[in-house]
Structures are given as structure tokens and as C-alpha cells.
Amino acid sequence: MLPSAKNYPDLKGTFRWSVPDAYNIGVDVCDRHPAGAPALVHLKSDGSTDIYSFGTLKALSNRFANVLAAHGIARGDRLGILLPQAPETAVAHIAAYKSGLIATPLFTLFGEDALHYRLDACAASAVVTGREGVEKLSAIRDRLPALKVVFCIDGPETGAVDFHDALSRASDLFTPVETRADDPALIIFTSGTTGPPKGALHAHRVLLGHLPGVEYPHDFFPKPGDLFWTPADWAWIGGLIDVLLPSLHHGVPVLTHRAAKFDPEETFRLIADHNVRNMFMPPTALKLMRQVDNPKGRWDYTVRSIGSGGESLGEELLSWGRETFDIPINEFYGQTECNLVVGNNTRFDTVKPGSMGKAIAGHDVAIIDDDGNRLPPGETGHIAIRRPDPVMFLKYWNNPTATEEKFIGDWLVTGDTGSQDEDGFFWYGGRADDVITSAGYRIGPGEIEDCLIKHNAVAMSAVVGVPDPLRTEAVKAFIVLRDGVEPTEALASEIQSFVKKQLAAHEYPRLIEFIDALPMTTTGKIMRRELRARHKG
């Protein structure tokens, strides 16, 4: 989508959005490409690979679209996709978009409580998952009245339809639903500081809105020979619309692999063995890879572009990246509601270590005050994006109040503070709220606190992020125990395991401190600043 340009001002001045009135993500990323061209390179657990062509994806997604229709799943219904990186995940997304459904990706590490909230909040009519997901859903299914059918990709399971068997019986001919660019296509739940997670509803145009923000930091992606991979799960916007869908839009194959646990040595081996050319690497992954001895001497890899976002990398990590890969790591910035709006490209600018970059062509990004006025260079304020913008969400699902609070006039307020220097580079200040940034995940303390209070030993709890050299922040829980319960290390471990099972493995508190009372305001609000200060003290 980006035009050729000599420099950044030329690029910004010549760029124009090209968003058609009628547009469907599923058709765009699949049906218009040559049938024999490779789309997915699926790395299986035994080390072998399967190649899925665009023709195969088209046939499989058409079959699943027909299966969904046969089960009464109709336009506008929500399809939960509780799967890791896998060909079936891509098939489910493409089929959902072609059918006019609203895809709702879900993280496989979510526990029963987290799944129940999201599936109930969006009233999902169907879920496609694996055997472990079926087991989790069986415990909560009686509390999901809208859920009509569950599909299992691992074969027949009690209470679930065999996904592959159903596809084998369905026709591979399907006429995609005619959708407009502004029609809803996707709900991605994002955490906030208070209350439950919010579902950010995106339109089909969101993919087109992402393209400049993918192409710019990846050195004008795509180029001949490109192959994209990320360790980030496709349940998150960083894996789904920073990597999978834009690559398929451009006809670039994607390596499909996500290990149960990130292994930095295996990562170097993977990118060498499969000739990975483009990567989105969360900062925590890069920090772990930095601990590997002599990667250039041990593996033969040729990476063309690396993008990273979610946390600032810092000068030392950026220097390591250049030495290790012989290319710069380009940082970018965005959030689930309005993603990839700021970024770096070293062809056009000398990167300023610690800066998020400049506004991506097509996006009006500014630092504003509480009244929506632009602030001059150097002053700290809200990082905000002006609407309308193709990458911007439509609204929070069934939450008009939160949607309204997200804006100051026509400015979407990210919730982050920062500044912009005289050269146009943006600098991150901090969270205007208390969302925790840990290992690339944005984690809302409210959901964890709600889970903690369900443990029979916990009377009250408060969760904050505390500095962590590897993850940027670690989740720490301050807990007031019920009368008569003694604080012990064994109890702390038990509570951690409880949160892992009930909520998610990436959200459990790595640190627990038992205290007698939580600091609160006169209106009953927890004073998280005092808790963070207590940790430092």
C-alpha cells in the first residue's frame, strides 16, 4: 500500500488511503491469489512440514463456511477461535470473514473464568478448538446459553463436532457474503485497569488499515523471497494482524509454529532451517535470544526485517540486534483499538534509541492535553490518534460508555502518555492507567483480582506491575487473607496455581505479598501507587 518515496516527508505527502466500499478480509487474503502459491508452511511437532497453498486454504475455508451454515451459524454471529498457531486457525478466520461472521480469537492458555467471560460477553454461537479447549468448555458450557456448537480439530470428542470429518463431508464451493469495509469482522478482547476486559470490535477495513504499519518498519514489505514468522500467538492482534493476515494479503507465506514454551536456541535454529526472512519479535523474546552464545557462528540465517513493539527496547538491545542479524530492529507502536500507527524505518531516518518512531503514513498521531489540544514539541500529554482512521476500532462490544470515554472529541486517547520531539519522533512516557505490560502482554489488574478473590483464603487483593529486567513488568499481588488463615510460602504457591488454572498462565502473579490491609482512598479505590512504592521500598 505504501508508495515509493525518497524520504519520510515525501512518503507522508504522497500517501493516500485506498479503501473500497465493498471489502472482505477472507476473500482478500485467500481467494484472489494463485491457487498453487504457498500460503502456510506448517512446522509439525515431529519436525516435518506441510505446505498449504492458497488453493487449499480456499477449499478448506469454503468447506468450513458451509459447515457453519449447516449448523445455523449466520451472518453477524460470533465464532470463538480457541486455537494456537495452526492451519486450522487460519481456516477458521478466513471462513468466518467469508461468512460475514465476527471472529473472536481466544488465547489457549485462558482458564475457565477467562473463557466464560469472553464467550458470554460476545454471545458466541460457535467455538472451534482442540481437545484441551473442549475440556475447558465442558465445565462452563451450561453457562453459555448462546453457544450452539463446538468444533474440535483433534478428532471426535464428547460434546463436540469432529472438525476435519465435518469438512470432508462439505462442499468446497461457497459464495462469500458481500460485506462492506465498515462491516464488523473481528472482536479482540483487551484488558483495562478496572472492570472486566473490553471487546474491541473491528471492521473488515482493519486489515487495510494495518498495511502501512506493517510495510514501513519491515523495510517496505513485501519483497521477493519473503517468509514471515512470529512467536506471538495469533489470538493477539500482534500475531494475527501484524503478521498472518497482512502476509496472506500480500501473497507471502507464513511459517506456522508456536512452541509450548519459547526456546531462544530453538528459535535461531528455526529461522535458519526455514529461511525466515521477516519477524515480529516481542521484546521479551529478543531479551531471551540475547542470552544465546555466538548465534552467528552457530546458525546460518538471513533475516531481512525485524519489527518489535509493546515495550521500548533500549539502546543496548538495539545494538545487539544489529550485530546479531546485520539489520536494525525497527520498533513500532499501537494498541488493540488502533494498532501500528507509529514506527521506525532506518532507511529514512536515523533511529533514536528509546523512541517509538514517527507517525506512519496515513495516521494523524499527536500529543494532546486533556481538552484535545495539540501540545508543542517536548511537552508531555496523551498519545492520541485522530478519527476517522481505517485501522481504528468501531467500538467496544456492548459498552457504549467505555467507547465514549476512549475519545476526546475526534481524538482516540490511547491511555499512554508521551511526548514528540522537534524531529517528529514520539517518546513513550508511561501508562495513564494501571495496565501492566509484561512480556509483551497488556494485562488488566481487575481480572486477576476478580480471580484471586475466588480463592477461599483471600479476603481482598490488589494487583500491580513491578519492574522486571526480563519482562519489563511482573505481576505482583498484594493479598489480605481471611481471618484465621496463616500466610505461608505454600499458600502463595497454591494461589499462583489457582490463578494459572482459572485465568491464564501469563497472568498469574509471579510475586505475592501478604499484607494486613490495602491502601485505599476515602471512596474505596485502591491506591496502587502506594503499593508500587511499597514494593520499591
pLDDT at 349: 80
Check pLDDT > 90 for residue 283.
no
pLDDT at 104: 98
Residues 6+ away with beta carbon under 8 Å from 374: 366, 367, 368
499's enclosing H/E stretch is helix 489-502
Helices (H), 344-418: 400-405
Measured CA to CA, the distance from residue 176 to residue 62 in angstroms comes to 8
402-409: long-range contacts (C-beta < 8 A, 24 or more apart)? 402/192, 402/198, 406/337, 408/368, 408/370, 408/371, 408/372, 408/382, 408/384, 409/372
- Model confidence at 444, pLDDT cuts 50, 70, 90, reads confident
- Model confidence at 350, pLDDT cuts 50, 70, 90, reads confident
The CA-to-CA distance between both ends of the chain, in Å, stands at 51
The mean pLDDT of 227-231, rounded to a whole number, is 97
Q: How many residues are there in the chain?
A: 537
Q: Label each residue of 19-86 as H, E or C.
A: CCCECCHHHHHHHCCCCCCEEEEEECCCCCEEEEEHHHHHHHHHHHHHHHHHCCCCCCCEEEEECCCC
3-state secondary structure of 478: strand
The mean pLDDT of 35-57, rounded to a whole number, is 97
Q: What residues does 526 pair with on adjacent strands?
A: 520
Check pLDDT > 90 for residue 526.
no
Burial letters for 64-100: b for 16+ Cβ neighbours within 10 Å, e otherwise?
bbbbbeeeebeeebbbbbbbbbbbbbbbbbbbbbbbb
Question: How many other C-beta atoms are found inside a 10 Å radius of the C-beta of residue 8?
Answer: 18
Residue 224 in grid coordinates? 521477493
**Among residues 309, 248, 252, which one has the least CA distance to residue 284?**
309
Check pLDDT > 90 for residue 521.
no
pLDDT at 61: 98
pLDDT at 229: 98
Q: What are phi and psi of 269, to 5 degrees?
A: -65, -40
| pLDDT tens-digit map of 153-185 | 999 999 999 999 999 999 999 999 999 999 999
Rg over CA atoms, the chain: 23
List of domains in the chain: 1-21+205-232+252-433 (3.40.50.12780), 24-179 (3.40.50.980), 436-536 (3.30.300.30)
- The average confidence (pLDDT) of the chain is 94
pLDDT at 194: 54
Check pLDDT > 80 for residue 12.
yes
Answer for the pair 76, 102: CB distance below 8 angstroms, yes or no.
Answer: yes
DSSP 8-state code for residue 102: E
Q: Is the pTM of this model over 0.85?
A: yes
Question: How many other C-beta atoms are found inside a 10 Å radius of the C-beta of residue 468?
Answer: 16
Measured CA to CA, the distance from residue 238 to residue 450 in angstroms comes to 26
Dihedral sign of CA atoms 63, 67, 69, 70 in order: positive
352 vs 275 pLDDT, higher one? 275
- Model confidence at 195, pLDDT cuts 50, 70, 90, reads low
472 vs 96 pLDDT, higher one? 96
CA 316 to chain centre: 26
State which of 21-35, 276-290, 423-437, 453-467 shows the largest mean pLDDT.
Answer: 21-35
Residues 6+ away with beta carbon under 8 Å from 489: none
State which of 180-189, 192-201, 315-324 shows the largest mean pLDDT.
Answer: 180-189
